[in-house]
Amino acid sequence: MPRICFILMLLWLGGRGASFAAELRGAWIHSPTGIVDKRGWDATVKALADNGYNALFANLAWGGCAEFPSDVVTPHPSLYDREGNCHDRLQECLDACRKYGIQLHVWVVVCNLGDRTPKEIREQLQDEGRLQVDAAGESSTYLAPHLPENRAMLRDLSVEIVTHYPVDGLHLDYIRYPFGSYDFSDSARKDFERSLGHAVENWPEDCQKDGAEYSAFLQWRRDNITELLREIHDAVKAVRPEVQLTAAVYGYWPGAKVSVAQEAELWAKEGLVDALCPMNYSKDTTEAGQWLRQQLRALDGAVPVYAGLANYMTPTPEDLVSQIKDARRCGADGFITFQLKPDFADQWLPLLHETVTAAPATPPMRGNEARPIVEWDAPPFEPPWRLLRVWRHDDRIGCTIRWENDASAPSAPTAIQFRLLHNGTRVEQYRGGRRFRKDGALRLVFVPERRGYYRWEMRWKDAVGNIHECRTSTRYVY
């Protein structure tokens, strides 16, 4: 009886008629051998596939070590058997993902060496002055991103992965400074003073809060992280442009610019990532949703957004279902749950499969495929205060869609299928229209019947018969 009540509640939360043909459903996993109860990668990936997931973000590399025979960083000591042979956990994971039709995104912990990196490697990097230090001179376990040798190592590691393994994506995590006050190493001071063009009179006080150089110091840190990302992006795309480059980022972006030197919005709008995975970790659906709404408003469809949800923090599966449904209503392009452990695989995944992952879905990422440009019209009434923004009855909401890449453009107007979504659910009947303009742009217009989140889904054939899919960014109608 309790299970029946639970399923009924999930059905109520999940809703019916939702259209999620293109949605990433991913799981993060730290264990390099699969679920930690020794099931191995085959059983781990099968559990995802059997329960409606379509992507795996597996942590198979750190800034100082790898779970495969790497020529760039040290292979983890546990890879070697008694005869000295080196196992390849990345290949084992990839084989399982190919077997069950699951995308593999290799999760690389970028700046943080962590406990996984052997102690002797961490000590060596510290002795070489390649780690960040705090204002008191204490060393961290984070690589200093301003050093060319560190950037080269991380860039080469990324290229090695995508060159030797036909993975679907490269997922960058900890591409940031530690939370707190870093980097005050000797090499950091020299590099920062070089960027300033003059010496810092009082080091490190002038670079701390309320100091004379505090603002410039924060910008220097942000520039270092962005430049590291740019080097990785350019190198990876040069050898495999179709690889999907994603990044796990903090959820509250204004604070992240100060605390950990991440500029997620800038990365997306400069084309340095193919998608963002904000870690909106909260046990509270309202809080996680507030962060996601801020992120979607800031990006306005620049790249897909996969909401990072913390199943380890949500008290029950019902709470996780609620967060998934809210992410869909807001207009996220998918979700990633943290993280995949035995209890989640055995107990939570089957319950999610009863509702929110019951219908099949394919990941919406398109790698290097050119995406159409979507431009929404300005609201008919735009006061200074966002909460007072309203659409009057019969106001028409329009957007313009342009294809910059002729090769991916529709072969004809009749080659496009359209669906209007409201809060993630298809609108069966609506007032509106669509037309192609003389310049080749497509105009889509509808009249909203009620408030909520609206977006378009499109599916079309190009001139050579290839199928393309696109979801526009969302517009909230008050």
pLDDT single digits (tens) 312-370: 999 999 999 999 999 999 889 999 999 999 999 999 999 999 999 999 998 886 555 66
- Give pLDDT, residue 53: 98
Residue 204, pLDDT > 50, answer yes
Kindly state the average pLDDT of the residues 116-134: 97
Kindly state the average pLDDT of the residues 45-49: 98
pLDDT tens per residue across span 251-297: 999 999 999 999 999 999 999 999 999 999 999 999 999 999 999 98
Of 21-25, 82-86, 165-169, 314-318, which range is least confident? 21-25
- Answer whether residue 360 is part of any domain: no
User: Which structural domain, as residue segments, surrounds residue 34?
Assistant: 2-353
Q: What is the rounded distance in angstroms from the CA atom of residue 78 to the CA atom of residue 88?
A: 11
271-to-226, 264, 332, 360 alpha-carbon distances in Å:
12, 11, 18, 29
pTM: 0.88
Alpha-carbon radius of gyration of the chain: 24
- Give pLDDT, residue 297: 87
- Answer whether residue 364 is part of any domain: no
Based on the domain organization, do 62 and 178 belong to the same domain? yes
Residue 451 tokens, joined: 């408030």
- Give pLDDT, residue 8: 38
Mean pLDDT score across all residues of the chain: 90
Conformational region of residue 400, where left means phi above 0, alpha means psi within -120 to 50, and beta covers everything else? beta
Based on the domain organization, do 195 and 48 belong to the same domain? yes
Based on the domain organization, do 279 and 160 belong to the same domain? yes
- Answer whether residue 365 is part of any domain: no
Our count of domains for the chain comes to 2
Contacts of 30 (CB under 8 A, 6+ apart): 59, 339
pLDDT tens per residue across span 176-191: 999 999 999 999 999 9
Sign of CA dihedral 463, 433, 403, 169: negative
Q: How far is CA 226 from the centre of its chain?
A: 16
Higher pLDDT, 197 or 22: 197
DSSP H helices, 182-213, are 186-196
Kindly state the average pLDDT of the residues 396-416: 85
- Give pLDDT, residue 411: 85
Among 279, 61, 78, CA closest to 161 = 61
Based on the domain organization, do 310 and 431 belong to the same domain? no
- Answer whether residue 359 is part of any domain: no
To the nearest whole percent, how much of the chain has pLDDT over 70? 91
The C-alpha torsion from 197 through 203 and 207 to 211, rounded to 10°, is -100
- Give pLDDT, residue 7: 40
Based on the domain organization, do 290 and 227 belong to the same domain? yes
Q: What is the CATH number of the domain that holds 308?
A: 3.20.20.80
HEC string of 415-431? HEEEEEEECCEECCCCE
Residue 37 · residue 350 · CB < 8 Å:
no
Residue 422 · residue 453 · CB < 8 Å:
yes
Residue 17, pLDDT > 50, answer no
Contacts of 114 (CB under 8 A, 6+ apart): 62, 141
In which band, very low, low, confident or very high, does the pLDDT at 235 lie, cut at 50, 70 and 90?
Answer: very high
- Give pLDDT, residue 101: 96
- Give pLDDT, residue 18: 44
Last residue of some domain: 298, 321, 353? Answer: 353
Kindly state the average pLDDT of the residues 79-98: 95
Among 100, 240, 92, CA closest to 166 = 240
In eight-state DSSP terms, residue 82 is T
Q: What is the rounded distance in angstroms from the CA atom of residue 118 to the CA atom of residue 134?
A: 22
Kindly state the average pLDDT of the residues 147-154: 98
